[in-house]
A and B are shown apart, each in its own frame.
Chain A
Amino acid sequence: MIERLYYFVIVGPNDRVLYDLFYPASLSELDWRTSSDASSPTERGGFESHHFVPSIQAVLQFVAYSALDHIDEKLWITSARSLKHVFRFREWSASVHLTPNASTRFVLVHGSSEDAARNVRAFMNAVYEVYVPCVLCNPFQDAEAPIQSQRFHEVAKNLAKRYLSG
Protein backbone atom coordinates (compact mmCIF):
# COMPACT_ATOMS: atom_id res chain seq x y z
CA MET A 1 0.00 0.00 0.00
CA ILE A 2 2.69 2.44 1.03
CA GLU A 3 4.46 1.90 -2.28
CA ARG A 4 1.62 3.59 -4.07
CA LEU A 5 1.53 6.86 -2.19
CA TYR A 6 2.81 9.95 -3.91
CA TYR A 7 3.38 13.54 -2.97
CA PHE A 8 3.95 16.05 -5.76
CA VAL A 9 5.06 19.58 -5.01
CA ILE A 10 6.11 22.55 -7.11
CA VAL A 11 8.68 24.66 -5.31
CA GLY A 12 9.24 28.19 -6.50
CA PRO A 13 12.12 30.61 -6.08
CA ASN A 14 13.10 31.09 -2.41
CA ASP A 15 11.88 27.57 -1.70
CA ARG A 16 8.27 28.62 -1.49
CA VAL A 17 5.63 25.98 -2.11
CA LEU A 18 3.53 26.95 -5.11
CA TYR A 19 1.45 23.86 -5.49
CA ASP A 20 1.14 20.46 -3.88
CA LEU A 21 -0.83 17.34 -4.55
CA PHE A 22 -1.25 14.08 -2.69
CA TYR A 23 -2.01 10.99 -4.65
CA PRO A 24 -4.30 9.18 -4.15
CA ALA A 25 -6.50 12.12 -3.27
CA SER A 26 -7.88 10.38 -0.19
CA LEU A 27 -4.41 10.73 1.31
CA SER A 28 -4.87 14.44 1.85
CA GLU A 29 -7.85 13.91 4.16
CA LEU A 30 -6.94 10.67 5.82
CA ASP A 31 -5.31 10.92 9.22
CA TRP A 32 -3.01 7.94 9.43
CA ARG A 33 -2.14 8.49 13.05
CA THR A 34 -5.57 7.81 14.41
CA SER A 35 -6.71 5.32 11.81
CA SER A 36 -7.09 1.96 13.51
CA ASP A 37 -5.83 -0.10 10.59
CA ALA A 38 -2.55 1.82 10.50
CA SER A 39 -1.18 -0.24 13.29
CA SER A 40 1.85 -1.87 11.67
CA PRO A 41 5.12 0.10 11.75
CA THR A 42 5.35 0.19 7.94
CA GLU A 43 2.03 1.86 7.62
CA ARG A 44 3.02 4.40 10.17
CA GLY A 45 5.96 5.40 8.00
CA GLY A 46 8.48 3.14 9.69
CA PHE A 47 8.37 4.81 13.08
CA GLU A 48 8.38 2.89 16.33
CA SER A 49 5.18 3.18 18.26
CA HIS A 50 6.74 4.74 21.36
CA HIS A 51 8.20 7.57 19.28
CA PHE A 52 6.33 10.61 18.30
CA VAL A 53 4.41 9.37 15.28
CA PRO A 54 4.09 11.91 12.50
CA SER A 55 1.30 11.56 10.03
CA ILE A 56 2.17 10.03 6.72
CA GLN A 57 1.55 13.35 5.01
CA ALA A 58 4.10 15.03 7.25
CA VAL A 59 6.67 12.36 6.38
CA LEU A 60 6.09 12.85 2.68
CA GLN A 61 6.46 16.60 3.01
CA PHE A 62 9.56 16.19 5.10
CA VAL A 63 11.17 14.02 2.42
CA ALA A 64 10.30 16.58 -0.24
CA TYR A 65 11.82 19.47 1.69
CA SER A 66 14.93 17.50 2.58
CA ALA A 67 15.34 16.70 -1.09
CA LEU A 68 15.65 20.42 -1.90
CA ASP A 69 19.10 20.64 -0.31
CA HIS A 70 20.27 17.62 -2.27
CA ILE A 71 18.91 19.14 -5.46
CA ASP A 72 20.90 22.32 -4.87
CA GLU A 73 24.05 20.24 -4.59
CA LYS A 74 23.37 18.05 -7.60
CA LEU A 75 22.47 21.07 -9.69
CA TRP A 76 26.16 21.92 -10.09
CA ILE A 77 27.45 18.53 -11.08
CA THR A 78 24.98 17.47 -13.70
CA SER A 79 23.29 18.98 -16.71
CA ALA A 80 20.32 16.63 -16.54
CA ARG A 81 16.94 18.27 -16.06
CA SER A 82 15.29 15.24 -14.61
CA LEU A 83 16.89 13.50 -11.67
CA LYS A 84 15.62 10.30 -10.11
CA HIS A 85 16.15 9.33 -6.48
CA VAL A 86 17.94 12.52 -5.46
CA PHE A 87 17.17 11.75 -1.85
CA ARG A 88 16.15 8.62 0.03
CA PHE A 89 14.66 8.35 3.47
CA ARG A 90 13.64 4.91 4.78
CA GLU A 91 11.33 3.53 2.12
CA TRP A 92 10.75 6.91 0.51
CA SER A 93 12.56 8.47 -2.36
CA ALA A 94 12.33 11.85 -4.06
CA SER A 95 12.73 12.67 -7.76
CA VAL A 96 12.97 16.08 -9.28
CA HIS A 97 12.35 17.82 -12.56
CA LEU A 98 14.03 21.18 -13.04
CA THR A 99 12.39 23.82 -15.16
CA PRO A 100 14.80 25.72 -17.45
CA ASN A 101 15.31 28.56 -14.99
CA ALA A 102 16.14 25.95 -12.31
CA SER A 103 14.56 28.07 -9.60
CA THR A 104 11.22 26.34 -10.00
CA ARG A 105 11.46 22.66 -9.16
CA PHE A 106 8.96 19.85 -9.46
CA VAL A 107 9.54 17.36 -6.68
CA LEU A 108 7.81 14.01 -6.45
CA VAL A 109 8.08 11.78 -3.40
CA HIS A 110 7.39 8.12 -4.06
CA GLY A 111 8.20 4.64 -2.83
CA SER A 112 11.83 3.80 -3.44
CA SER A 113 11.33 0.60 -5.46
CA GLU A 114 11.87 0.72 -9.20
CA ASP A 115 8.27 -0.28 -9.70
CA ALA A 116 6.97 2.78 -7.88
CA ALA A 117 9.42 5.06 -9.71
CA ARG A 118 8.68 3.66 -13.14
CA ASN A 119 6.49 6.42 -14.53
CA VAL A 120 7.97 9.28 -12.60
CA ARG A 121 9.81 10.88 -15.48
CA ALA A 122 6.83 10.58 -17.83
CA PHE A 123 4.59 12.11 -15.18
CA MET A 124 6.91 15.05 -14.60
CA ASN A 125 7.23 15.76 -18.32
CA ALA A 126 3.47 15.58 -18.77
CA VAL A 127 2.92 17.98 -15.88
CA TYR A 128 5.49 20.36 -17.30
CA GLU A 129 3.69 20.33 -20.66
CA VAL A 130 0.54 21.56 -18.91
CA TYR A 131 2.40 23.86 -16.57
CA VAL A 132 3.67 25.99 -19.44
CA PRO A 133 0.33 27.06 -20.99
CA CYS A 134 -1.78 26.97 -17.81
CA VAL A 135 0.59 28.59 -15.36
CA LEU A 136 3.62 30.11 -17.00
CA CYS A 137 1.70 31.84 -19.79
CA ASN A 138 -1.25 32.91 -17.68
CA PRO A 139 -0.95 36.70 -17.37
CA PHE A 140 -2.49 36.67 -13.90
CA GLN A 141 0.05 34.23 -12.47
CA ASP A 142 3.03 35.63 -10.58
CA ALA A 143 6.26 33.68 -10.53
CA GLU A 144 6.22 33.47 -6.75
CA ALA A 145 2.52 33.20 -6.11
CA PRO A 146 0.77 29.94 -5.23
CA ILE A 147 -0.86 28.33 -8.25
CA GLN A 148 -4.60 28.83 -8.04
CA SER A 149 -5.47 27.68 -11.54
CA GLN A 150 -8.38 25.27 -11.41
CA ARG A 151 -7.57 24.06 -14.90
CA PHE A 152 -4.04 23.10 -13.89
CA HIS A 153 -5.28 21.36 -10.77
CA GLU A 154 -7.74 19.25 -12.73
CA VAL A 155 -5.16 18.20 -15.29
CA ALA A 156 -2.52 17.46 -12.66
CA LYS A 157 -4.98 15.20 -10.83
CA ASN A 158 -5.80 13.35 -14.02
CA LEU A 159 -2.14 12.95 -14.94
CA ALA A 160 -1.39 11.55 -11.49
CA LYS A 161 -4.18 9.05 -12.00
CA ARG A 162 -2.91 8.06 -15.41
CA TYR A 163 0.78 7.71 -14.61
CA LEU A 164 0.95 6.90 -10.94
CA SER A 165 -1.89 4.51 -10.31
CA GLY A 166 0.29 1.60 -11.41
Chain B
Amino acid sequence: MSEAPRERLQASQTERNSSEKVPRPVATSAGAAANAAALSKIGEQAFQRGELVNSELAALTYGALVRQLVLDYAHPQQVNEQLDRIGYNIGLRLVDDFLARSAAPPCRSFAASAEIIARVAFRMYLGVNAKVAHIASDGSEYSILFDSNPLAEFAELPEPMKGSLWYSNVICGVIRGALEMVQYSVQARFERDILRGDDCNEIRVSLVRELEERVPTDNEI
Protein backbone atom coordinates (compact mmCIF):
# COMPACT_ATOMS: atom_id res chain seq x y z
CA MET B 1 0.00 0.00 0.00
CA SER B 2 1.60 3.17 -1.13
CA GLU B 3 0.36 5.97 1.07
CA ALA B 4 -1.11 6.61 4.44
CA PRO B 5 -4.85 6.01 4.73
CA ARG B 6 -6.88 9.03 3.82
CA GLU B 7 -10.00 7.93 5.52
CA ARG B 8 -10.41 5.94 8.63
CA LEU B 9 -13.15 3.73 9.86
CA GLN B 10 -14.63 3.39 13.23
CA ALA B 11 -14.05 0.17 15.08
CA SER B 12 -17.03 -1.21 16.87
CA GLN B 13 -15.41 -1.15 20.27
CA THR B 14 -14.07 1.33 22.77
CA GLU B 15 -14.27 3.53 25.73
CA ARG B 16 -17.54 4.85 27.00
CA ASN B 17 -19.12 8.11 26.36
CA SER B 18 -17.06 10.94 27.75
CA SER B 19 -18.71 13.80 29.55
CA GLU B 20 -18.32 16.24 26.69
CA LYS B 21 -20.98 18.84 26.13
CA VAL B 22 -23.16 17.88 23.26
CA PRO B 23 -25.56 20.42 21.81
CA ARG B 24 -29.14 19.21 22.08
CA PRO B 25 -30.91 19.39 18.75
CA VAL B 26 -34.02 21.49 18.45
CA ALA B 27 -37.15 19.49 17.83
CA THR B 28 -39.26 22.04 15.95
CA SER B 29 -39.68 21.83 12.21
CA ALA B 30 -38.31 25.35 11.79
CA GLY B 31 -35.06 24.16 13.23
CA ALA B 32 -34.70 21.25 10.84
CA ALA B 33 -31.48 22.54 9.32
CA ALA B 34 -30.05 23.40 12.71
CA ASN B 35 -31.14 19.97 13.85
CA ALA B 36 -29.25 18.30 11.01
CA ALA B 37 -26.17 20.37 11.75
CA ALA B 38 -26.33 19.49 15.43
CA LEU B 39 -26.69 15.82 14.60
CA SER B 40 -23.76 16.01 12.22
CA LYS B 41 -21.74 17.43 15.06
CA ILE B 42 -22.76 14.60 17.36
CA GLY B 43 -21.76 12.13 14.67
CA GLU B 44 -18.43 13.86 14.19
CA GLN B 45 -17.72 13.80 17.92
CA ALA B 46 -18.63 10.14 18.21
CA PHE B 47 -16.38 9.44 15.24
CA GLN B 48 -13.48 11.28 16.88
CA ARG B 49 -13.96 9.57 20.21
CA GLY B 50 -13.92 6.04 18.93
CA GLU B 51 -11.04 3.84 18.00
CA LEU B 52 -10.14 3.96 14.33
CA VAL B 53 -9.20 1.19 11.98
CA ASN B 54 -7.36 1.53 8.69
CA SER B 55 -9.94 1.92 5.93
CA GLU B 56 -7.84 -0.01 3.42
CA LEU B 57 -7.71 -2.97 5.78
CA ALA B 58 -11.48 -2.82 6.21
CA ALA B 59 -12.11 -2.45 2.48
CA LEU B 60 -9.86 -5.39 1.62
CA THR B 61 -11.31 -7.60 4.34
CA TYR B 62 -14.83 -6.84 3.26
CA GLY B 63 -13.84 -7.38 -0.38
CA ALA B 64 -12.46 -10.81 0.47
CA LEU B 65 -15.70 -11.69 2.26
CA VAL B 66 -17.87 -10.68 -0.68
CA ARG B 67 -15.57 -12.44 -3.11
CA GLN B 68 -15.82 -15.66 -1.14
CA LEU B 69 -19.61 -15.43 -1.04
CA VAL B 70 -19.67 -14.86 -4.77
CA LEU B 71 -17.61 -18.01 -5.25
CA ASP B 72 -19.73 -20.02 -2.82
CA TYR B 73 -23.18 -19.13 -4.12
CA ALA B 74 -24.44 -19.63 -7.60
CA HIS B 75 -26.41 -16.41 -7.95
CA PRO B 76 -25.50 -12.86 -6.95
CA GLN B 77 -29.05 -12.66 -5.61
CA GLN B 78 -28.14 -15.23 -2.96
CA VAL B 79 -24.99 -13.29 -2.14
CA ASN B 80 -27.16 -10.22 -1.52
CA GLU B 81 -29.28 -12.24 0.89
CA GLN B 82 -26.25 -13.57 2.74
CA LEU B 83 -24.74 -10.10 3.07
CA ASP B 84 -28.06 -8.84 4.37
CA ARG B 85 -28.15 -11.64 6.93
CA ILE B 86 -24.61 -10.96 8.07
CA GLY B 87 -25.46 -7.28 8.37
CA TYR B 88 -28.63 -8.07 10.29
CA ASN B 89 -26.67 -9.96 12.91
CA ILE B 90 -24.16 -7.12 13.14
CA GLY B 91 -26.99 -4.61 13.48
CA LEU B 92 -28.64 -6.47 16.34
CA ARG B 93 -25.48 -6.05 18.39
CA LEU B 94 -24.23 -2.79 17.02
CA VAL B 95 -27.28 -0.84 18.12
CA ASP B 96 -26.26 -1.29 21.74
CA ASP B 97 -22.87 0.16 21.08
CA PHE B 98 -24.48 2.97 19.14
CA LEU B 99 -26.89 3.93 21.90
CA ALA B 100 -24.14 3.80 24.49
CA ARG B 101 -21.55 5.81 22.64
CA SER B 102 -23.26 8.12 20.20
CA ALA B 103 -25.06 10.42 22.70
CA ALA B 104 -27.70 10.91 20.02
CA PRO B 105 -31.09 12.18 21.15
CA PRO B 106 -33.91 9.63 21.27
CA CYS B 107 -36.11 9.24 18.18
CA ARG B 108 -39.68 10.37 18.70
CA SER B 109 -40.93 8.90 15.43
CA PHE B 110 -39.83 6.59 12.68
CA ALA B 111 -39.08 9.52 10.39
CA ALA B 112 -36.78 10.97 13.03
CA SER B 113 -34.64 7.86 12.88
CA ALA B 114 -33.65 8.80 9.33
CA GLU B 115 -31.57 11.79 10.36
CA ILE B 116 -30.03 9.88 13.25
CA ILE B 117 -28.90 7.05 10.97
CA ALA B 118 -27.66 9.31 8.21
CA ARG B 119 -26.00 12.05 10.25
CA VAL B 120 -24.77 10.16 13.30
CA ALA B 121 -24.51 6.44 12.57
CA PHE B 122 -22.99 6.72 9.08
CA ARG B 123 -20.49 9.26 10.29
CA MET B 124 -19.69 7.27 13.39
CA TYR B 125 -19.20 3.83 11.85
CA LEU B 126 -18.27 4.49 8.24
CA GLY B 127 -16.76 7.95 8.45
CA VAL B 128 -18.92 9.24 5.61
CA ASN B 129 -21.45 12.04 5.47
CA ALA B 130 -24.87 10.86 4.44
CA LYS B 131 -28.08 12.75 3.96
CA VAL B 132 -31.77 11.96 3.99
CA ALA B 133 -33.99 12.42 0.94
CA HIS B 134 -37.26 11.33 -0.63
CA ILE B 135 -39.22 11.06 2.61
CA ALA B 136 -42.67 9.65 1.96
CA SER B 137 -45.56 11.93 2.96
CA ASP B 138 -46.73 9.59 5.71
CA GLY B 139 -43.20 9.33 7.04
CA SER B 140 -42.98 5.57 6.62
CA GLU B 141 -40.26 5.53 3.98
CA TYR B 142 -37.06 7.43 3.36
CA SER B 143 -33.82 7.23 1.45
CA ILE B 144 -30.30 7.65 2.71
CA LEU B 145 -27.87 9.08 0.20
CA PHE B 146 -24.10 8.99 0.44
CA ASP B 147 -21.38 9.62 -2.10
CA SER B 148 -18.31 7.83 -0.89
CA ASN B 149 -18.36 4.28 0.32
CA PRO B 150 -15.24 3.11 2.13
CA LEU B 151 -16.27 -0.54 1.76
CA ALA B 152 -16.17 -0.30 -2.01
CA GLU B 153 -12.94 1.67 -2.22
CA PHE B 154 -11.12 -0.84 -4.43
CA ALA B 155 -13.98 -2.82 -5.87
CA GLU B 156 -15.00 -2.80 -9.49
CA LEU B 157 -17.89 -5.06 -10.38
CA PRO B 158 -17.39 -7.49 -13.23
CA GLU B 159 -19.76 -6.81 -16.11
CA PRO B 160 -22.10 -9.81 -15.54
CA MET B 161 -22.73 -8.81 -11.93
CA LYS B 162 -23.48 -5.17 -12.59
CA GLY B 163 -27.20 -5.80 -12.73
CA SER B 164 -27.54 -8.20 -9.84
CA LEU B 165 -25.01 -7.82 -7.03
CA TRP B 166 -25.38 -5.12 -4.38
CA TYR B 167 -21.79 -5.05 -3.21
CA SER B 168 -22.36 -3.17 0.06
CA ASN B 169 -25.62 -4.90 0.94
CA VAL B 170 -24.29 -5.55 4.44
CA ILE B 171 -25.17 -1.94 5.31
CA CYS B 172 -28.84 -2.63 4.57
CA GLY B 173 -28.73 -5.57 6.93
CA VAL B 174 -27.14 -3.48 9.66
CA ILE B 175 -29.89 -0.86 9.37
CA ARG B 176 -32.59 -3.53 9.43
CA GLY B 177 -31.09 -5.27 12.46
CA ALA B 178 -30.45 -2.10 14.41
CA LEU B 179 -33.92 -0.67 13.86
CA GLU B 180 -35.50 -3.96 14.81
CA MET B 181 -33.89 -3.70 18.22
CA VAL B 182 -35.57 -0.34 18.74
CA GLN B 183 -39.00 -1.72 17.83
CA TYR B 184 -39.14 -0.86 14.15
CA SER B 185 -39.45 -3.70 11.71
CA VAL B 186 -38.19 -2.33 8.41
CA GLN B 187 -37.11 -3.30 4.94
CA ALA B 188 -33.85 -1.81 3.70
CA ARG B 189 -32.52 -2.17 0.20
CA PHE B 190 -30.09 -0.52 -2.17
CA GLU B 191 -31.69 1.53 -4.93
CA ARG B 192 -28.57 2.98 -6.49
CA ASP B 193 -24.90 2.15 -6.22
CA ILE B 194 -21.91 4.03 -7.59
CA LEU B 195 -20.30 0.68 -8.43
CA ARG B 196 -23.07 0.12 -10.96
CA GLY B 197 -22.45 3.49 -12.55
CA ASP B 198 -25.07 5.49 -10.66
CA ASP B 199 -24.24 8.99 -9.47
CA CYS B 200 -24.60 8.20 -5.76
CA ASN B 201 -25.43 5.43 -3.32
CA GLU B 202 -29.03 5.26 -2.15
CA ILE B 203 -30.51 2.99 0.48
CA ARG B 204 -34.29 2.91 0.70
CA VAL B 205 -35.68 2.18 4.16
CA SER B 206 -39.37 1.44 4.53
CA LEU B 207 -41.30 0.71 7.70
CA VAL B 208 -43.11 -2.62 7.81
CA ARG B 209 -44.66 -2.22 11.25
CA GLU B 210 -43.87 -1.05 14.72
CA LEU B 211 -43.20 -3.87 17.12
CA GLU B 212 -44.85 -3.87 20.51
CA GLU B 213 -43.05 -4.65 23.68
CA ARG B 214 -44.76 -7.48 25.47
CA VAL B 215 -44.12 -9.23 28.70
CA PRO B 216 -43.42 -12.87 27.97
CA THR B 217 -46.51 -14.82 29.12
CA ASP B 218 -44.75 -17.80 30.62
CA ASN B 219 -42.78 -15.66 33.06
CA GLU B 220 -43.85 -15.41 36.66
CA ILE B 221 -44.02 -11.86 37.80
A binds B: yes
Q: Interface residues, chain A, CB within 8 Å of chain B?
A: 129, 132-134, 137-140, 148-151
Instruction: Work out how many contacts link A and B, with CB atoms closer than 8 A.
Output: 36
Binary contact track B62-76/A, C-beta < 8 Å → 1, others 0? 011011001000000
Shortest CB–CB separation between residue B97 and chain A, in angstroms? 27
Q: Are B1 and A140 in contact (CB under 8 A)?
A: no
A149 to B159, CA, bound (A): 9
CB neighbours (8 Å) of A151 from chain B are: 156
- Contacts A137-B154, A139-B155, A140-B155 given; does A132 touch B1 at CB 8 Å: yes
Cβ contact within 8 Å between A140 and B2: no
Give the chain A neighbours of B156 by CB distance below 8 A. Answer: 134, 138, 140, 149-151
B163 at the interface (CB under 8 A from A): no
Establish whether residues B155 and A148, one from each chain, have CB atoms under 8 Å apart when the complex forms: no
Q: Give 6 new A-B contacts, CB below 8 A, not counting A138-B63, A150-B156.
A: A133-B153, A134-B154, A138-B155, A139-B60, A139-B66, A140-B158
| Residues of the B chain whose Cβ atoms lie less than 8 Å from the Cβ of A132 | 1-2
Residues on the B chain within 8 Å of A140, using CB? 67, 70, 155-158, 161
Report the Cα distance A129→B155, complex, angstroms: 16
B29-58 interface mask toward A, CB cutoff 8 Å, 1 = contact, 0 = none? Answer: 000000000000000000000000000100
Contacts of B158 in A (CB 8 A): 140, 148
Nearest Cβ distance between residue A89 and chain B, in whole angstroms?
Answer: 34
Which residues of B are found within 8 Å of A137, using beta-carbon distances?
Answer: 56, 59-60, 63, 153-154
Q: Can you show 5 pairs from A to B with CB atoms below 8 A apart?
A: A138-B156, A139-B63, A139-B154, A140-B70, A151-B156
Per-residue CB contact flags for chain B residues 153-191 toward chain A (1 = under 8 Å, else 0) read: 111111101000000000000000000000000000000
A124 CA to B212 CA, complexed, in Å: 63
